[in-house]
Structure 1
Amino acid sequence: MAVVAAYAAAVEANQLDTVSLDFWVPTASLTAVFLALHLVIRFLAPYADPVLVPAVALLNGLGVAFLRRLDLAQASPDERGDLPIFAGVGGRQLAWTLGAVVLAAGLLVLLRDHRSISRYAYTLGLAGIVLVMIPAVLPSRFSEINGAKLWVRIGGFSIQPGEFAKLALLVFFAYYLVRKREVLSLASKRFLGVDFPRGRDLGPVVVVWLISLLVLIFEKDLGTSLLYFGMFVVTLYIATERVSWLIIGLLLFFGGAFLAYFLGSTVGGPFANFYVRAEIWLDPFADPHDSGYQLVQGLLALGTGGLFGAGPGGGQPTILPEVHNDFIFAGMGEEIGLFGLSALLVIYLLIVERGLRAALAVRDSFGKLLAGGLAFTLGLQVFVIVGGISKLIPLTGQTTPFLSAGGSSLMANWLLVATLLRISDAARRPVDSAAAPRASGVPAGPPPQLHGATTEVIRP
């Protein structure tokens, strides 16, 4: 939070030529919220990973500070000094942060054992599919922004159901793959040193691939399609430890994307939007003032930032379309430079690494798959959005976790972090803590790993 406060002070120094006496108030509000969450964790999940919340709090805090910087830039010069704390996009993001952290704390209160989620796996899987399909079936005026149908908009309220769908689908994937792991691990043929699965076991992968392709066609978004299919293939790889599933997944996805591109160039229809996005990706400077304007401005912002950037509040991010949402990484890059963006990516990498560490340490298979899938999904979402603005892959409508404005993304990602905290608490909790003798000399009850444990029948 000291880093966030210094960032906010630098923003005001560049925007107002002075630092107001209350520049610290938004940061102090965030500090109080995160400190309260820390206390909740100390009581409800005392063995949870201590790195996750500080890392996420830094990203969230910098996101709020940058969005307030945009509000200052868009306000008239005589109003900047008296801009209320909860005004504009930055103020709404501060309020959304409060709600998201309360939601995360509520999940820790309700979810005392991560394995209990598996009881509702099929219900959550169905709910996830419904949430994914809602924007696709709605008319464009209620769901489409910048060519991608990812939203549900009613009046002034909007929500992105896909952010919550990824969590529900991950629970279902983890539960399904735990039950089918042995079957999916069977190999039929060995090719170039890699054991490939039997043809009859490809059904689940093909079904999820078709769903992802439908998302690509009807929601017109490559990023969401890649996110859903990628998290399924990776959880499948974690469950079976077979590289062949990754190879099959990559071939299926890139084959489907190429097919959509080819059909978009010939028959048009629902494939036309993807074809246009791919053409912009291949050569954004072919039409830099119209179709390629957003991507070109993002690249110019990153180039202008150079190594060290123009300083917080010293750039011109308001030129970027959707800088508060899709292109917040490029807007921040203009002001903090390559070194600053690299630091942000390292923080994301740290969060993913701690999630994977929890997956390795937790003792049950469901927890391993769920934690691994959650960590990978967060990393994949960062890759999709950063890859889009840097022209590595076609531009998508994904949000940058914890930085971009929007309540749906913020709440869903804080729920993701809360789930990782619960799993890491189970992973780091000493196995024999309940079996150790108590201080009074009275023997404790039976070990927790035996008391109430489930059994498995292994058939030959």
Structure 2
Amino acid sequence: MSSQPTWVPRKRRGAEFFLTILAVLIGIAAYCAVGLGTKGTIPAGVIKLAAALIAFAVIAHLVVRRVAPYADPVLLPLVICLNGLGLAMIYRLDLGRTQLDANRAEFANSQLIWTVIGIASFAGVLFAVRDHRRLQTLTYTFGFAAIALLILPLLPVIGRTINGARIWINLGPFSFQPGEAAKICLAIFFAGYLVVKRDALALAGRRFAGIDLPRGRDLGPILAGWLVSVAILVFQRDLGSSLLFFGLFVVMLYVATERPGWLLVGGVLFAGGAWFGYLAFGHVRVRFDAWLAPFADPDRNGQIINGLFGLAHGGILGRGWGLGSPQLTPFSFSDFIAASMGEELGLTGLMAILLIYGLIVERGLRIALTCRDAFGKLLAAGLAFSFALQVFVVVGGVTRLIPLTGLTTPFMAQGGSSVVMNWAIIALLLRISDQTRRPAPEISTFDRDEETQVVKLT
């Protein structure tokens, strides 16, 4: 029997552990810096917080080491770093908001609890999904689940309207945003559907401006996706989710077919939907007017004006942890946490945070490029793009590059449903990465001479 040397990929779990501890230390240092900046002393509960963060980070690392040993070693530390910075900023905002009003609710403790629940969901997904390819057999199940999740906020008993958007449901003392879970279900459904239909959808129709447009008979799926996004805009008044879901489908359709014509068709449909929303709905019109001329109505547009002044106040290097006034901006702990970071850490710190998001997207796209099966490739690309689009929309709205949409900043903004579902997305990316980098099982072979000798002996 002849044996040829085969290349076996390194697991790199030691590098992941080192980066995970470093990420936790960054979060703890930020928490201490907040206390020093606001009160002049290190917070009393820093030991308990440090022990909790280290314990849960190590548990997450051990879960990856146990059930996904060949997974990407960088994703988990990047996410823990963002989560830790978000906890420190929410704690800093709690201190500032209680100075303005002692009766205001504090969010740092609840955010820590949701982080623990998110890590639990992360571990649960890794244990439950041992092979991402099995999800393809449930393509339409996830599609129906996504529709059900999107309908839940419209029900009269459990549905809840907050800030003009009906995207929440009440579960006892907690509120949950089903659209965050629907995002994952839709990504799985789109990946499974497009793997089967991509050959038909890749056929070219008429050529326009050097781009092969899709055939008219193949426009059904993208029109259906457009109608779903418009329905979300009409019934839930949620501009951000409408943009996210439709953009996710268009990009996955382009990745599956490699036809730029789908991007052109999607862009035209998006422009038509945006124009329809501007004419039909007052809340969309208000956001467009605030984007174009925020200082024309300071009373109504105080949120975006305060956010812009906060970014200007931070400058290049920032005021320092606890030394700015981000609590003066409405929803500085959720929609405008990027502006809060910009004021305290400056343009330099905000760019570093955006670089971390960019690395998460890059690792996700790398997983998609190296994945050996079409379903995993599409799913990884879709999940990575959902991160990229969500961060672009949030930061673009805060900096007045585009109109505000109401999406949350992943892993940093206050919100339980967002934290839990984003941890689940990272688990899916790690599962696909582990399956991709895992070495193929060994197959024993015989040389011809050895095989002849075996036959003669028998």
Please give the TM-score of this superposition, normalised by the length of structure 2: 0.88
Whether the aligned pair in 2 keeps the contact of 1:237 and 1:246 (CA below 8 Å) is yes
Once residues 36 and 285 of structure 2 are traced to their aligned partners in structure 1, the CA distance between those partners, rounded to angstroms, is 45
Q: Aligned residue for 2:329?
A: 320
Once residues 309 and 177 of structure 1 are traced to their aligned partners in structure 2, the CA distance between those partners, rounded to angstroms, is 46
Once residues 27 and 63 of structure 1 are traced to their aligned partners in structure 2, the CA distance between those partners, rounded to angstroms, is 15
1:369-396, Cα deviation, whole Å (9 max, x unpaired) = 0000000001111111111111112112
Q: CA RMSD in A?
A: 1.8
1:269-304, Cα deviation, whole Å (9 max, x unpaired) = xx2221122112211111112x11111111111111
Q: Which one is further off, 364-373 or 13-22?
A: 13-22
Whether the aligned pair in 2 keeps the contact of 1:325 and 1:406 (CA below 8 Å) is yes
Once residues 288 and 356 of structure 1 are traced to their aligned partners in structure 2, the CA distance between those partners, rounded to angstroms, is 41
By how many angstroms is 1:434 displaced? Answer: 3.4
Whether the aligned pair in 2 keeps the contact of 1:142 and 1:154 (CA below 8 Å) is no
Does residue 354 (structure 1) correspond to residue 382 (structure 2)? The answer is no
Q: Aligned residue for 2:396?
A: 387
Does residue 15 (structure 1) correspond to residue 38 (structure 2)? The answer is yes
Indicate which of 80, 83, 106 corresponds to 1:88.
Answer: 106
Equivalent residues in 2 for 1:237-248, closer than 5 Å: 237-248=254-265
Does residue 144 (structure 1) correspond to residue 161 (structure 2)? The answer is yes
**Counterpart residue type for residue 262 of structure 2:** W
Once residues 309 and 431 of structure 2 are traced to their aligned partners in structure 1, the CA distance between those partners, rounded to angstroms, is 42
Once residues 174 and 385 of structure 2 are traced to their aligned partners in structure 1, the CA distance between those partners, rounded to angstroms, is 30
Equivalent residues in 2 for 1:215-294, closer than 5 Å: 215-261=232-278, 263-264=279-280, 271-289=281-299, 291-294=300-303
Q: Aligned residue for 1:339?
A: 348
Equivalent residues in 2 for 1:54-65, closer than 5 Å: 54-65=77-88
Count of matched residue pairs: 419
Whether the aligned pair in 1 keeps the contact of 2:318 and 2:346 (CA below 8 Å) is yes
Indicate which of 433, 439, 442 corresponds to 1:434.
Answer: 442
Whether the aligned pair in 1 keeps the contact of 2:145 and 2:182 (CA below 8 Å) is yes
By how many angstroms is 1:137 displaced? Answer: 4.8
1:160-193, Cα deviation, whole Å (9 max, x unpaired) = 0000000001111000000001000000122222
Whether the aligned pair in 2 keeps the contact of 1:149 and 1:219 (CA below 8 Å) is yes
By how many angstroms is 1:35 displaced? Answer: 0.9
**Percent identity over paired residues:** 51
Equivalent residues in 2 for 1:25-424, closer than 5 Å: 25-75=48-98, 88-138=106-156, 142-153=159-170, 156-261=173-278, 263-264=279-280, 271-289=281-299, 291-424=300-433
Once residues 253 and 201 of structure 2 are traced to their aligned partners in structure 1, the CA distance between those partners, rounded to angstroms, is 8
By how many angstroms is 1:27 displaced? Answer: 3.1
Question: Alpha carbons of 1:436 and 1:329: their partners in 2 closer, same or farther (altered >3 Å)?
Answer: farther
Whether the aligned pair in 1 keeps the contact of 2:204 and 2:214 (CA below 8 Å) is yes
Whether the aligned pair in 1 keeps the contact of 2:152 and 2:159 (CA below 8 Å) is no
Once residues 276 and 351 of structure 2 are traced to their aligned partners in structure 1, the CA distance between those partners, rounded to angstroms, is 35
Question: Alpha carbons of 1:115 and 1:88: their partners in 2 closer, same or farther (altered >3 Å)?
Answer: same
Q: Aligned residue for 1:453?
A: none
**Counterpart residue type for residue 148 of structure 2:** V
Once residues 340 and 102 of structure 1 are traced to their aligned partners in structure 2, the CA distance between those partners, rounded to angstroms, is 29
By how many angstroms is 1:76 displaced? Answer: 5.8
SS in 2 for 1:50: coil
1:71-129, Cα deviation, whole Å (9 max, x unpaired) = 2233469x9xxxxxxx9311111111111101110111111100111121111111101
- Point out where structure 2 has 5 or more consecutive residues left out of the alignment: 1-23, 446-458
By how many angstroms is 1:420 displaced? Answer: 0.1
Once residues 27 and 328 of structure 1 are traced to their aligned partners in structure 2, the CA distance between those partners, rounded to angstroms, is 23
By how many angstroms is 1:156 displaced? Answer: 3.8
1:336-369, Cα deviation, whole Å (9 max, x unpaired) = 0101010000100100110111111111100000
By how many angstroms is 1:154 displaced? Answer: 5.5
Q: Which one is further off, 155-164 or 57-66?
A: 155-164
**Counterpart residue type for residue 289 of structure 2:** E
Q: Aligned residue for 1:440?
A: none
SS in 2 for 1:143: strand
Please give the TM-score of this superposition, normalised by the length of structure 1: 0.88
- Point out where structure 1 has 5 or more consecutive residues left out of the alignment: 80-86, 265-270, 438-460
